Amino acid sequence: MPAPKEIKRISEVIWEIPQTYKKGMKVPARIYATKELLDSMDEGVFEQVTNVACLPGIQKYALCMPDGHWGYGFPIGGVAAFDFENGVISPGGIGFDINCGMRLVRTNLTIEEVKPKLKELVDLLFQTVPTGVGATGFVKLSNSQFDEVMVKGARWCVEHGYGWKEDLERIEEHGAIKGADPSKVSKKARERGIDQLGTLGSGNHYLEIQVVDRIFDQNVAEAFGIEQEGQIVVMIHCGSRGFGHQIATDYLKVFLDAMKKYGIPLLDKELACAPIDSPEGKDYYSAMLCAANMAFANRQVILHRVREAFEKVFKKSPEELGMHLVYDVAHNIAKAEEYEIDGKIKKVLVHRKGSTRSFGPGHSELAEIYRDIGQPVIIGGSMETGSYLLVGTKRAMEETFGSTCHGSGRTMSRHKAKKEINYNQLIKQMEERGIYVRAASKSGLVEEAGAAYKNISDVVEAVDRAGISRKVAALRPIGNIKG
């Protein structure tokens, strides 16, 4: 789909749709992409990012990353920051799978050591980590314990033996965002979430054994625990599952009424919102953080189970195997952060929808081990094409509210993928590439074929050129578990 004729090229990888493009736009819209990626974007991206630019209290720009594609409300890859005094909060700018995110774990193992035991390892992980729609976990919670998980997040897990204390400093917000209030969560959401801790879910969620394929920055890589090409790492991609989905569903209904109450024009019902400072806005924010913290806990329990499986297969403790967490970062979230806007430091609510935090060196929110280097940024690709480890930059803080891309981005709908991609052929192709896969369903696997996604290397190259995150290492899949 060609971009709007009004779009202007600001730099090699920045494009701007002016405020005059659509009635009601309060700021311009900016898209980070190469010309090739821009031309491949669907019409929905341009429509949605300019709709976002119309929302009350938006600051500087409505942004879309190079993995951008049509989503619910915001485009996937959308970023927007709203003033706390007159801005809004919108579930469509966060996503239904609240705090869907990435977790990367390093090991001391090499490809030579893992290859002979790869099938055994993947099969055991498939048994150990429940996957697919309706999957339930091995951690059984009472209602009061679930309240604690909503507030404490990954810290609750570590306190109960599901992880190491050091894990917490390697998670965004140390694994628990302040402000969560379980009383703002519906009974239905509780029922959907209480037994889902430690489960992978469905769709594009995965647990993947990867090999470090190429190192671009040796010094930064070593600081992150990535020492050599051929090293084995583990990547986890999942979120708050049905719990977050229900919270988003509940509040979308509330916000449609709130928009009438507060006189907010309705451009698109998928952009239902409420003033940040309103009772409705505060309630949703508190409930959304419950889901975000549950997602941090979910990935923490999965890591615990992964460590157990590696110990069983390799007959060494996770400590001996060097199974340290590199980082855990959200890519469906809204967070209170501070940025310089018009020469002043301003508190804003940053919505990231299919976009990852990319804080640069020196930021006070980073753990000491990474403060001088910048935040590890984990970019997940498709199960065929590999993933990337990047590092955050000061330019991201200046231009994109500390944000970058989150993955490769779909180019083919799930329905189309099921029609056009053959399951047996896909399995054969993956085997030929040295990738062993286990999936909860055939259709689920076909939907996630590499052909359904943009080229991850093109997306990462765009953000690297833009300077909003820098390449550290490329990671290649060898074993994959799909929901």
Cβ-proximal residues to 305 (8 Å cutoff; 6+ apart), any chain:
125, 128, 129, 138, 198
pLDDT level of residue 416 (50, 70, 90 thresholds): confident
- From the list 359, 154, 166, the residue with the least C-alpha distance to 240 is 154
| Dihedral sign for Cα atoms in the order 328, 407, 460, 69 | negative
Quick one: pLDDT at residue 450? 65
408 is in an annotated binding site: yes
Cβ-proximal residues to 284 (8 Å cutoff; 6+ apart), any chain:
89, 91, 184, 247, 251, 254, 255, 274
SS3 state at 120: helix
Give the single-character DSSP code of 18: -
| Dihedral sign for Cα atoms in the order 36, 42, 45, 46 | positive
Lowest average pLDDT, out of 126-140, 216-230, 283-297, 301-315, goes to 126-140
337 is in an annotated binding site: no
pLDDT level of residue 40 (50, 70, 90 thresholds): very high
Q: What angle do CA 72, 53, 412 make, to 5 degrees?
A: 35
Instruction: Read off the pTM.
Output: 0.96
pLDDT at 417 exceeding the cut of 90 = no
Quick one: pLDDT at residue 115? 97
pLDDT level of residue 419 (50, 70, 90 thresholds): confident
Q: How far is 90 from 278, CA to CA, in rounded Å? A: 12
pLDDT at 366 exceeding the cut of 60 = yes
447 is in an annotated binding site: no
Q: How far is 294 from 271, CA to CA, in rounded Å? A: 24
Quick one: pLDDT at residue 167? 98
pLDDT at 299 exceeding the cut of 60 = yes
Q: What are phi and psi of 367, to 5 degrees?
A: -60, 150
Tell me what percent of the residues of the chain surpass a pLDDT of 90: 85
The b/e string for 261-271 (b: 16+ C-beta within 10 A; e otherwise) is ebebeebeebb
- From the list 193, 204, 96, the residue with the least C-alpha distance to 135 is 193
Q: How far is 347 from 323, CA to CA, in rounded Å? A: 37
* Mean of the per-residue pLDDT values of the chain: 94
Q: What is the mean pLDDT of residues 306-326?
A: 98
207 is in an annotated binding site: yes
pLDDT at 415 exceeding the cut of 80 = no
pLDDT level of residue 4 (50, 70, 90 thresholds): very high
Element spanning 330, H or E: strand 325-330
Name the token pair of 401.
């509210």
Quick one: pLDDT at residue 204? 82
- Condensed to tens digits (0 to 9), the pLDDT of residues 86-107 reads 999 999 999 999 999 999 999 9
Q: What is the mean pLDDT of residues 293-306?
A: 98
Q: Write the burial class of residue 42 (CB in 10 Å: 0-12 exposed, 13-18 middle, 19+ buried).
A: middle
Quick one: pLDDT at residue 382? 75
Please state the three-class secondary structure of 277-301 as a single string.
CCHHHHHHHHHHHHHHHHHHHHHHH
Q: Rounded to whole angstroms, what are the CA distances from 459 to 2, 37, 267?
A: 18, 8, 30
Q: What is the mean pLDDT of residues 126-136?
A: 85
219 is in an annotated binding site: no
Lowest average pLDDT, out of 50-54, 233-237, 406-410, goes to 406-410
Quick one: pLDDT at residue 21? 97
- From the list 37, 95, 43, the residue with the least C-alpha distance to 66 is 37
Cβ-proximal residues to 43 (8 Å cutoff; 6+ apart), any chain:
1, 70
SS3 state at 352: strand
> Would you give the distance in Å from CA 71 to the centre of its chain?
14
Q: How far is 60 from 400, CA to CA, in rounded Å? A: 9
The H-assigned helical ranges of 153-278 are 154-159, 187-193, 218-223, 241-262
pLDDT level of residue 411 (50, 70, 90 thresholds): low
Quick one: pLDDT at residue 185? 98
- Condensed to tens digits (0 to 9), the pLDDT of residues 53-62 reads 999 999 999 9
**Count of all residues that appear for the chain in the document:** 483
Q: Catalytic annotation on 363?
A: no
pLDDT at 287 exceeding the cut of 60 = yes
- Condensed to tens digits (0 to 9), the pLDDT of residues 235-261 reads 999 999 999 999 999 999 999 999 999
pLDDT at 1 exceeding the cut of 80 = no
pLDDT at 298 exceeding the cut of 70 = yes
174 is in an annotated binding site: no
pLDDT level of residue 468 (50, 70, 90 thresholds): very high
112 is in an annotated binding site: no
The H-assigned helical ranges of 168-240 are 187-193, 218-223
Catalytic residue among 69, 245, 304, 406: 406
Q: How far is 174 from 146, CA to CA, in rounded Å? A: 19
Q: How far is 96 from 148, CA to CA, in rounded Å? A: 22
Cβ-proximal residues to 242 (8 Å cutoff; 6+ apart), any chain:
192, 193, 196
Q: How far is 222 from 218, CA to CA, in rounded Å? A: 6
Domains and CATH numbers, the chain: 8-482 (3.90.1860.10)
Tell me what percent of the residues of the chain surpass a pLDDT of 70: 98
- Condensed to tens digits (0 to 9), the pLDDT of residues 334-345 reads 999 999 999 999
